[in-house]
Amino acid sequence: MRHRLPGSSILGPVSDLATVALLLAPLVVAAAITAGLVALAGRVMAWSWYLALVLSPVIYVVWLWVFLVLSGLIVGAIGRRHPKPRFRAIPGQTHVRAVLKDDLGVITAIVCYRRLALVQGLPFIHVISAMPLFFRTVLRAYSPSATIGHGGVSWGVIYDPDLTSIGDQVVIGGGAVVVAHSLSMRPDGGLVYVSA
């Protein structure tokens, strides 16, 4: 179920469009960069359909890496400017503009959790996130920062890498979910966000 705070009728669609743009822009830019690399490789050597088919997993991993890096740059920039709040209570009858004006950190949290949903739905992401080369890159794709010790790895899901410290040689087992925040709705329709 989707909840929307009461407010201007134009701000809702504008907010939705901004969210879609923030989510889709890195996907499209990563695809354009990958297509450019493939076209450049095509100038160096002749491509046949079967070579393209055989190399398609490699092309996908290149696209995935570019997307993760671009996402990390966007989320990092947003998070540095407006970090997630420790506590934020939004009364039920609050106008959307008041929320945006008072605390953009809540918007940062929403952007991070939506980006997490997008990243977790990508094919092959769980396999490459367990590789040391990609582990930090995957976490930074949806979190402003990540504190990870040497040799740390996760087979689970970490919702808030910026609020969680992972020590040296720590292994988070498969199916584990590490969450450092709570978001709940009050009976009056208000929201309460609390983080570690």
Domain extent at residue 127 = 11-195
Residues 138-156 as b/e (b if ≥16 CB within 10 A, e otherwise) read bbbbbbbebebeeebebee
The verdict on residue 111 lying in a domain is: yes
pLDDT, tens digit only, all 196 positions of the chain: 444 544 444 445 666 677 677 778 888 889 899 888 888 888 888 878 788 888 889 999 999 999 999 999 999 999 999 899 899 888 877 766 666 666 788 888 888 999 999 999 999 998 888 888 899 999 999 999 999 899 888 889 999 999 999 999 999 988 899 999 998 888 888 888 899 8
Does residue 124 fall inside a structural domain?
yes
Does the global pTM surpass 0.85? Answer: no
Report residue 147 as tokens: 């504190």
Task: Give domain status of residue 66, yes or no.
Answer: yes
Helices H / strands E in the chain, number of each: 6, 9
Number of domains in the chain: 1
* Residue 2, in any domain of the structure: no
Flag whether 4 is in a domain.
no
